[in-house]
């Protein structure tokens, strides 16, 4: 398709992330916002004023009557996924852009993937931290071979699982060239956060065996290591790779650092997760993928599914004990099973 076609966009859910998305679509000449929706009228009106008065509704189904956007974007809480995916597919959209995590259970995620695959609809999931200059630098160092053969990739976040863990897994999979995961072992503790709008165990840890022999280690929540170099609590994430000749890691709120075979000591550089920096290229690559099917978006939904699957396998392991082999089939809803299984 030509590089100057304008793609029409509907954005549903105009909270923090919906507004980030709407802003980035509005600022990119390749897109035109044709519809906006939020159940909160004030938010909806404010957004409509800001983005040139497109069609609006407080009910997404009503909004979609007669609108056939190229891109259906929704940024609602994690409990609202499958219904929105179906709505996007039924609207005839070519691409659905949505927020992590992709579902609440494996059963739901399998259904989401079936619906979009059957319809041939592209999906993009907002694991956009990778656009940070510090994330890019770490990837570049690892890919250059400067830390030798990678044997371990790791990611930790003090933020809890349903907020943070698919981010961690997405980036360690990237640092490990998206190798397939074969099995995981997991453990979890604490039930306070099951009542949150991102229901999670308070702490969760997982070991991942990748098919290329690399070990993955992930931890999320209350008990994950602090990153004292970073002040902003949500950005206390440390994600990196160790190789035979060094290491390279990114601190979400505090730049990058590495030792490579030639660095003669620690080298480091700047970078801090910043929506204003990361959203424009994330949105541009949606246009690129729509223009050219070969330019698959780095945050494509198939990759997000792989990360979600690993996270759910870690939960299953904490419930069932032992190794959980991938790929996963349908099963008991993981969060409910975990809440039942964890002590007090
Ligand atoms: N990628 C990231 O860096 C990042 C950062 C923060 C949050 N998130 C994710 O983004 C998602 C949304 O988080 P948020 O912080 O923007 O939440 P938010 O509460 O600020 O926004 C959600 C919006 O959805 C609206 N909404 C709820 N039900 C609706 C419905 N049926 N129809 C239309 N609108 C509806 C709400 O009124 C609200 O305005 C979550 O899944 C969260 O995990 C991602």
Cα(41)–Cα(45) distance, rounded to whole angstroms? 6
For all residues of the chain together, what is the average pLDDT? 97
- 102 close to ligand 1 (CB < 6 Angstrom): no
pLDDT computed for residue 323 by the predictor: 98
- Ligand 1 centre and the CA of 6: distance in Å? 26
Is a pLDDT exceeding 90 seen at residue 157? yes
Is a pLDDT exceeding 80 seen at residue 193? yes
Q: For the residues 144-169, what does the mean pLDDT come to?
A: 98
- Ligand 1 centre and the CA of 195: distance in Å? 17
DSSP string, 135-172: HHHHHHHHHTTTT-SEEEEEEEESS-HHHHHHHHHHHH
- 40 close to ligand 1 (CB < 6 Angstrom): yes
pLDDT computed for residue 65 by the predictor: 86
pLDDT computed for residue 2 by the predictor: 58
Q: For the residues 79-91, what does the mean pLDDT come to?
A: 97
Q: Are 317 and 185 in contact (CB under 8 A)?
A: yes
- 99 close to ligand 1 (CB < 6 Angstrom): yes
Burial 25-50, CB ≥16 within 10 A → b, else e? bbebebbbbbbbbbeeeebbeebbee
Cα(139)–Cα(143) distance, rounded to whole angstroms? 6
- 42 close to ligand 1 (CB < 6 Angstrom): no
- 22 close to ligand 1 (CB < 6 Angstrom): no
Strands 71-74 and 7-12 turn out to be parallel
Report the candidate in 256, 251, 219 with the shortest Cα–Cα distance to residue 235: 251
pLDDT computed for residue 12 by the predictor: 98
pLDDT tens track for 289-304: 999 999 999 999 999 9
221 phi and psi angles, rounded to 5 deg: 105, -165
- Ligand 1 centre and the CA of 38: distance in Å? 10
- 76 close to ligand 1 (CB < 6 Angstrom): yes
- Best substitution site from 75, 283, 298 to test ligand 1's pocket, by max atoms within 8 Å of Cβ? 75
Instruction: Read off the tokens for 236.
Output: 């206390």
- Ligand 1 centre and the CA of 202: distance in Å? 21
Is a pLDDT exceeding 90 seen at residue 4? no
Report the candidate in 278, 307, 300, 323 with the shortest Cα–Cα distance to residue 173: 307
- Ligand 1 centre and the CA of 15: distance in Å? 5
- Ligand 1 centre and the CA of 100: distance in Å? 10
pLDDT computed for residue 344 by the predictor: 79
The number of the ligand 1 atom at minimal distance from the alpha carbon of 273 is 3
What is the share, in percent, of the chain residues with pLDDT greater than 70? Answer: 99
Q: Are 50 and 30 in contact (CB under 8 A)?
A: no
Q: Are 63 and 57 in contact (CB under 8 A)?
A: yes
Cis peptide before 101 (omega within 30 of 0): yes
Q: Are 97 and 299 in contact (CB under 8 A)?
A: no
Q: Which has more pLDDT, 281 or 2?
A: 281
pLDDT tens track for 203-251: 999 999 999 999 999 999 999 999 999 999 999 999 999 999 999 999 9
pLDDT computed for residue 311 by the predictor: 98
pLDDT computed for residue 76 by the predictor: 98
Is a pLDDT exceeding 70 seen at residue 1? no
**Segment (H or E) for 60:** helix 60-64
Other residues' Cβ atoms within 10 Å of the Cβ of residue 318: 23
> Distance between alpha carbon 131 and the CA centroid of its chain, in Å?
12
Give this prediction's pTM: 0.98
Is a pLDDT exceeding 60 seen at residue 99? yes
């Amino acid at each position: 398709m030509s590089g100057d076609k304008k793609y029409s966009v509907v954005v549903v859910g105009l909270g923090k992330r919906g507004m980030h998305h709407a802003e980035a679509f509005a600022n990119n000449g390749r897109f035109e916002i044709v519809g906006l929706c939020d159940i909160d009228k004030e938010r909806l009106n404010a957004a409509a004023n800001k983005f040139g008065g497109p069609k609006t509704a407080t009910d997404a189904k009503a909004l979609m009557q007669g609108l056939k956007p190229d891109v259906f974007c929704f940024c609602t809480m994690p409990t609202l996924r499958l219904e929105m995916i179906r709505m996007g597919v039924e609207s005839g959209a070519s691409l659905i852009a949505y927020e992590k995590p992709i579902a609440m259970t494996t059963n739901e995620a399998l259904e989401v993937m079936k619906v979009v695959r059957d319809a041939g609809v592209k999906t993009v999931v907002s694991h956009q931290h990778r656009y940070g200059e510090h994330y890019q630098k770490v990837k570049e160092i690892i890919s250059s071979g400067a830390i030798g053969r990678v044997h371990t990739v790791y990611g930790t976040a003090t933020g809890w699982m349903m907020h943070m863990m698919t981010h961690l897994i997405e980036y360690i999979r990237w640092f490990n060239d998206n190798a397939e995961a074969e099995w995981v072992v997991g453990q979890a503790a604490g039930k306070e956060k099951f009542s949150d709008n991102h229901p999670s165990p308070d702490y969760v840890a997982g070991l991942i065996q990748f098919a290329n022999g690399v070990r993955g280690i992930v931890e999320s929540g209350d008990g994950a290591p602090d990153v004292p170099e970073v002040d902003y609590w949500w950005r206390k994430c440390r994600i990196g790779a160790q190789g035979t000749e060094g290491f390279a890691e990114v601190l979400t709120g505090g730049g990058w650092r590495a030792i490579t075979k030639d660095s003669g000591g620690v080298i480091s550089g700047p970078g801090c997760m910043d929506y204003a920096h990361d959203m424009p290229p994330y949105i541009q690559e949606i246009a690129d993928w729509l223009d050219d099917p070969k330019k698959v978006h780095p945050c494509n939904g198939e990759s997000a599914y792989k990360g979600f699957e690993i996270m759910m396998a870690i939960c299953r392991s904490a419930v069932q004990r032992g190794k959980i082999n991938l790929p996963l089939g349908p099963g008991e809803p993981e969060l409910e099973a975990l809440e039942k299984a964890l002590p007090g």
